[in-house]
Structures are given as structure tokens and as C-alpha cells.
Structure 1
Amino acid sequence: MERGMNHKIHYPFANFADTVAVLPANDTMRKVPDKPESDRDADGPLITYFELARVMERASRRFSGLLRTELSKIGVDDIGPAQAMVLLAIGEAELSVGELLDRGYYMGSNISYYLKQLGDGDYIDRIASQRDKRSARIRLSEKGRKLCASLREAARSYERALTHGEQDRQNLETAFQTLHRLELVWGNAARYGI
């Protein structure tokens, strides 16, 4: 983004009373009244949901690259960033595959492949269900817990580099809330229509 330009985010599937304008010059946010469609271009470029989705996708790829680098630093070469994200999604819980699917964006065939790799590498333990021998619950093994702890420690060092005070923490929280709201709006729009 260019310094000093007002950028607005356009939510095509939602009707919010106010539009949030981000002012990059001083990294503050303010509410601006919703304007008629004809007036929007006068205030600066309109950020569409397609542009936002592209930024999110690029950020996700860059995060995968960062995870790959961290895995290399700690000597892990038998799994990749996608499998590491599955481990982090499992966390301290004991989950079914269905519950794990709800925690992250995985395709059914991908998660089966990832879980097989993680099981072969001894990063997870599979516990057969007492009621239904066909289903299993998944939890981190000791090796998986150690890897997750190392990745979380690396994440804390990046957080310290990114966050320099209360305003940065609030901006991060706002970004999370906005992305979470987009996830809900887009998910509902895909399921139920506009």
C-alpha cells in the first residue's frame, strides 16, 4: 500500500453500517460513515474481497515458507509445513479426524495422507475407539509435542519482532477479528447463498 492513501475494504456479502478505513501513514483505524456507491472512488482505491483473498493466499504461502525454514533449522526433514500445521491444530487435544477437519482447511484425502505421514514419523498416536473399531482418535506423541513446542518458541520470536507495544497488539487483534468475520461471512455465503 502507498503511504498516505485511504483504503477501504468492500464486503460484497455483508451490509455493515460502517466501513473501516485503514490509514497506513500512522497505522490507526477510524470509522467512516458508509457512503453511496458513487462516492466511494473519490476517497481512494476500493479494496475488493478478491484482492483481500489474494493477499491472504500470498501471506499463507509465505508463512508456509517460514515454517519450512524453521523445520530445517531444527533438523526436521520428514514432514513439511502442511503436516506441521496439522500438528499445531491438534495441540493438546485428542481428536477424531472429523474434529480435526473442523479445525483447519483440509481436504479429506489430504488429511488422510498427512495423518499417515505423521503416524509414520511417530509425531502422532492413533487410539482406536472403544465403541467403533473403524474410527480412531488422534493425539500428539512426545515427538509431536516437542516439535510443536519448538515451532511455538520460534513463533514467539517473530511475534516479538512484529509487535512493539500495545497499539501493535491491538492491530493484530483487529486483523484477527476481521479475518475471522470474513471467514464466517464467506463460509455462510458459500453454504446458504447471499
Structure 2
Amino acid sequence: MVGVAGRFEEEVKEKYLQTTRLIERLHRRFLDVIKTELDRLGVEDINNVQTLILFNINEDQLTVGELTARGYYLGSNVSYNVKKLVENGYLLQERSSHDRRMTRVKLAQKGLDLTLRIDQLYARNAQELEGRFSAENLESVNKVLQGLERYWSNLVSYTP
């Protein structure tokens, strides 16, 4: 016989697993939205993940390590994507004047132009969402997701 505490624990576990699956699906669907926009714009030399990298870099000048540390890239092959972005003219890569082993990246004009178009997509999305969600609704969702991020970060950081 499962007690009240056990039922509550099972309910929370099920909701937690539902949330993790939803986060994963939302990320994939968001990448689909970006891919659809790239197709609409006729951009074929960059993928959706690389487009997110560009958008997150924006006006900054970063090392490849900083891309990952700041959460701008979530995959394991960031060096490959940076290489492709440089080859296709979206990023400029420069050796650090202080440490010749380190390279910094910044957007080339082609990257700036694309991020402007993606920013316009985000503005259209925000405008369309206004009738469905309030800023307060989205802020509430963000607080929950930030709490999950902190929780998972603590699990990873403090696990022996």
C-alpha cells in the first residue's frame, strides 16, 4: 500500500519527467523554427545550431571555450561549428595578442546580417505570442526553468 507521501513523490516524479521531456522537445522544435526561417531566407551554408551560436555571440568577441562556458553552445563539437562558420564567412577568427595559442571569434558582416534577420524572426515571434502569453507568464516559466538549471548545476558540481 502506497502512502500519501509515496503518491506525492510519484506525482512529482512524473511531472518532473514530463518537464524534462518537454524541455528537450521544445529545444528541438525551436531549432526547427530557425531552420524554417533559414529555408525561407534561402540560406543554405549554415545550419540552425550554427545560427544560434552566431546570435548568441552577437557583438561580443569570445574564445571558443567562452562559447561553451556562457551556455551559447550546448554540443560537443563547438570547434567544428566554429571552423565551418569561419570557412563560410560568418565568423572572423583572430589569434589573441596576449596568448598566441588562444583564438577569439567575432561576427563577420555576413554573420551580423544573418543575426539581424534572426532578430527580426524573434521580434515577429514575440509579437505573435503577445495574444497567447503575457510577459508575466513567460517570466514565471523562466523562473521555474532557471530553478531547474540551478538544481541540475548543483547536482553536477557537487556529485562526488
TM class by shorter-chain length? Answer: 0.7 to 0.9
For residues 49 and 149 of structure 1, the distance between their equivalents in structure 2, rounded to whole angstroms, comes to 36
Q: Deviations for 1:37-82, whole angstroms, at most 9, x for unmatched residues?
A: 35738xxx54432211100000111111110000111111111111
Alignment of 1:93-108 (within 5 A): 93-104=60-71, 105-108=73-76
| Equivalent residue in structure 1 for 2:5, among 33, 37, 41 | 37
Q: 1:98 to 1:170 in 2, by over 3 A?
A: same
Alignment of 1:119-158 (within 5 A): 119-158=86-125
Larger % of strand: which?
1
Alignment: residue pair count: 154
2:25 is matched with 58
RMSD (Å), alpha carbons = 2.0
Amino acid paired to 1:171? N
- Pairing 1:4-15 to 2, within 5 Å after superposition: none
Give 5+ residue unaligned stretches, structure 2.
Answer: none
Work out which of the residue numbers 75, 83, 92 in structure 1 matches 2:50.
83
More helix by share: 2
3-state secondary structure, aligned to 1:127: strand
Partner Cα separation in structure 1 for residue 17 and residue 79 of structure 2: 30
1:177 aligns with 2:139: no
Runs of 4+ in 1 over 6 A off after TM superposition: none
Point out where structure 1 has 5 or more consecutive residues left out of the alignment: 1-35
Q: Percent identity?
A: 32
TM-score (norm 2): 0.87
Structure-2 residue corresponding to 1:14:
none
| 3-state SS in 1 of match to 2:134 | helix
Task: Report if the CA contact (8 A) 1:124-1:140 is conserved.
Answer: yes
SS class of match (2:106): strand
The structure with higher relative contact order (CA 8 Å, sep 6+) is 2
Alignment correspondent of 1:23: none
Q: What CA distance in whole angstroms lies between the structure 2 residues aligned with 1:136 and 1:186? A: 30
Shift of 1:154: 0.8
Report the TM-score when normalising by structure 1: 0.73
- 1:89/1:103 contact within 8 Å kept: no
Is 1:68 paired with 2:35?
yes
Determine the structure 1 residue equivalent to 2:59.
92
